[in-house]
Structure 1
Amino acid sequence: MLWKQFSRRSISPQNKENLNQQVITRRRDSKISNRYHDNSSQLTIIENYQIPKQPKLKAHDPLFDETLWKCNSQDLTLKLFKESIIDRTAAFKEIYMVGKQIGSGSYASVRLCADKLTLKSYALKIYNKSAISSSRQKSILREIRILQMIKHPNIINIYNVIETNNHINLLLEYIDGKQLNTLKGYNLKQALYQIASALNYLHARHITHRDVKIENILYSDGQVKLIDFGFSTLFSNSIKKKIYCGTPSYMAPEIVTKQYYKGPPADIWAFGIVIFYLTQGYFPFKGSNDKELFQLIMQCNINFNSITDVYLQDLLYQMLQFDPEDRISTAEILLHPWFLEYIKPIKVNSKSQKSSCSKLNSPKQINPYQQYQSTVKKNDKASIEYQLDHSQVRKGIVQSYMSSVASTKSPILRRRDSGNQTFDKSNNF
């Protein structure tokens, strides 16, 4: 050591201090060079001293819970929004050809796209990187991750995520269909049932869509697809957050008043607005501007008596409650009498058709909704003839109907039969 080399000499205090400083400097430089010799690529040079880079902490996204995301497929978002010298646009054009624009939104546009080799059609959702803020980057990554982790016949599929020089491209399922406002009668009810099934699937996985509207529901060949997950979130259904997003006509009162709220009831409200518009032909709230519209939503005065179908009236009454806690859930919507007509009869094989006819005609195999409907018609006439309270009669019919389908009951129906909750919450119908 340098100190031992001069230990036998007489050293002045000033020389001793200089010598100590030299020893300290050598030790420090020796430790740094030995420790980081093999990791020189991870070092930053500052004033001839090598110090390790500080690790960048991953920004936490409050609208996405990593613990709830269990996706077995490869994460396609790892390399997004990073610089690269590769001409990704040229590579993309070698594989795909991009056609006309088929949709647009606040942050992205959608174009028709096709694989040059297989000629398979896709919907290409395009985000312009130059117009994307840091907060919007999180939303795009969250949208991609949520689409990757879900699989449902009534929800749009994602196939790939491709980054080019100036854009982030989502390769989505192409649906050559139409919107729901062209459907009527049984086809409309069947389509709405499929949307209820898709929302039930999402809410069971703690996913909230947050932009349920007619424009985000496409219909093709008897099948409905829920699209556009740009505002969707993933965190526990019991957590309340203040998130202002959606389309004004479909916003729930808790969103308009900018309160902390749970996600699923807001989807239920928006879905109720969709059903109301498609069945009645107009929105329950209509204002000349957003301010007037929001005032009407906060007042929540809906004329349910204008709805002629008492079962649809009852369903919408439970979906469009001002208090989110009073709204019906998606699981309950699927079991509501208005939707039970959607139940299809059991298919019979041609070989055993003769032997099974007697079983189909037996009382146990009769569609319970048909029996329920005929009972309602008879009791409607009786209530008029004997001047009975119509709402009380209907309430008794619903309870009787629920007990008749006890073999296929869920815990929700058992709870209702026990008297904790009924379909009819008011006697004002």
Structure 2
Amino acid sequence: MNEKTLKLTIEDEKRLEERGYKLGTQISSGSFARVFRALHNHTGPCAAKVIDLSSTSEEYRLKFLPRELYTMKKLKHPNVINILDIFAIDKKMVVIFMELAEGGDLLDLLREEGALNETRSRTFFCQFGDAIRYMHGLNFAHRDIKCENILLNRTRTIARLTDFGFARTCFDAISGYRLLSDTYCGSAAYVAPEVLKSQPYSPLKSDVWSCGIVLFVLLNNRLPFSDTDNKKLAKRQTERKYNFSRNLSTDAKELINHLLNPNPIQRPSMTDVFTMAWFINDKGG
């Protein structure tokens, strides 16, 4: 799957056209999925995430993909990328049509503009953070929050959460109890120490940690912890060995310190996060 366009049979192209879709050129690619520009007859430009099932594991096909599709259908929030349609091709590929984010992702923005000021960072955090708070309210955890999974509109004023490949429900309908996770998910630089240590963890609290990493990156244009060895990384996280690369308000530093609390029990919920001074005392910056 290295071509910049997707090769489909004439029959599959006709099936897509019957539903109003036409695939264009590639925007981005991952280990087993590519994202293409697409066009719908009525709604206009959109994006198509094409998952090559032949390059995925059985666990992904039977466990993670169904969860992703289920979660995406359930979530309806202005700061979650909206799913337009899902299309299977000969049991070899799954095509997910979704809103097109023409402004790239937060990492693209930082590469071009450098660290953001507190006002702009706050705006983006309120947007994607509210999407995560909404997910948590429905007992869903994202488990792969990072700058690359927060997309922007053309004018780069609105942030939307995407990529629900590791999302899962955190509630057992039979017992009524919250569920812990034991699957290692996400990018090491963004995951909480309890995940790195392979301990059973609350996926909701690990999401909060990841939000803290994203906020740190927005304000400093670098990661707080950058070790490639997971044991060393977890040790630095637990010892809270990170430094701010620029002058930030006391409220901003305090918020990050709460989000990056290595003790998940003491880490705030996403609802509690928005009651903190950085949001209430918004003085610009």
Q: What TM-score bracket applies, with the shorter chain setting the length?
A: 0.7 to 0.9
Is contact 1:256-1:298 (8 Å) kept? no
User: 1:209-220, aligned counterparts within 5 Å?
Assistant: 209-220=142-153
Q: Number of aligned residue pairs: give it.
A: 258
Of 95, 109, 116, which residue of structure 2 is paired with 1:169? 95
Of 144, 147, 151, which residue of structure 1 is paired with 2:76? 151
Two-structure CA RMSD over aligned residues (Å): 2.4
Of 266, 271, 274, which residue of structure 1 is paired with 2:214? 274
Q: TM-score, normalised by structure 2?
A: 0.82
Q: Cα–Cα, structure 1 residues 269 and 253, in superposed 2: closer, same or farther, change >3 Å?
A: same
User: 1:44-55, aligned counterparts within 5 Å?
Assistant: none
Of 22, 47, 56, which residue of structure 2 is paired with 1:123? 47
Aligned-pair CA distance for 1:311: 0.6
Is contact 1:122-1:173 (8 Å) kept? yes
- Superposed CA deviations along residues 54-96 of structure 1, whole A, max 9, x for unmatched, are xxxxxxxxxxxxxxxxxxxxxxxxxxxxxxxxx5454225542
Q: Cα–Cα, structure 1 residues 322 and 192, in superposed 2: closer, same or farther, change >3 Å?
A: same
Of 215, 222, 225, which residue of structure 1 is paired with 2:160? 225
Which residue of the partner structure matches residue 189 of structure 1?
122
Which residue of the partner structure matches residue 134 of structure 2?
201
Which SS does the other structure have where 1:130 is aligned? helix
Q: Give the distance between the partners of 1:160 and 1:296, measured in 2 at CA.
A: 43
Which residue of the partner structure matches residue 262 of structure 2?
322
Q: Cα–Cα, structure 1 residues 275 and 255, in superposed 2: closer, same or farther, change >3 Å?
A: same
Which SS does the other structure have where 2:225 is aligned? coil
Q: Give the distance between the partners of 2:87 and 2:104, measured in 1 at CA.
A: 27
Where structure 1 has 5 or more consecutive residues not aligned to the other structure, the ranges are 1-86, 343-368, 371-429
Q: Give the distance between the partners of 1:281 and 1:133, measured in 2 at CA.
A: 34
Where structure 2 has 5 or more consecutive residues not aligned to the other structure, the ranges are 1-10, 172-176
2:151 maps to amino acid: L
Q: Cα–Cα, structure 1 residues 242 and 119, in superposed 2: closer, same or farther, change >3 Å?
A: closer
Task: Identify, as 1 or 2, the structure richer in helix.
Answer: 1
Q: Cα–Cα, structure 1 residues 324 and 185, in superposed 2: closer, same or farther, change >3 Å?
A: closer
Is contact 1:128-1:167 (8 Å) kept? yes
Q: Larger radius of gyration, structure 1 or 2?
A: 1
Which residue of the partner structure matches residue 244 of structure 1?
184
- Superposed CA deviations along residues 303-324 of structure 1, whole A, max 9, x for unmatched, are 4797541111111111111110
Q: Cα–Cα, structure 1 residues 101 and 295, in superposed 2: closer, same or farther, change >3 Å?
A: farther
Which residue of the partner structure matches residue 7 of structure 2?
none
Of 241, 245, 268, which residue of structure 2 is paired with 1:301? 241
Aligned-pair CA distance for 1:292: 4.0
Which residue of the partner structure matches residue 391 of structure 1?
none
Which SS does the other structure have where 2:265 is aligned? helix
User: 1:88-99, aligned counterparts within 5 Å?
Assistant: 88-93=12-17, 95-99=20-24
User: 1:330-341, aligned counterparts within 5 Å?
Assistant: 330-341=270-281
Aligned-pair CA distance for 1:196: 1.5
1:287 maps to amino acid: D
Q: Which has the higher contact order (CA 8 A, sep 6+)?
A: 2
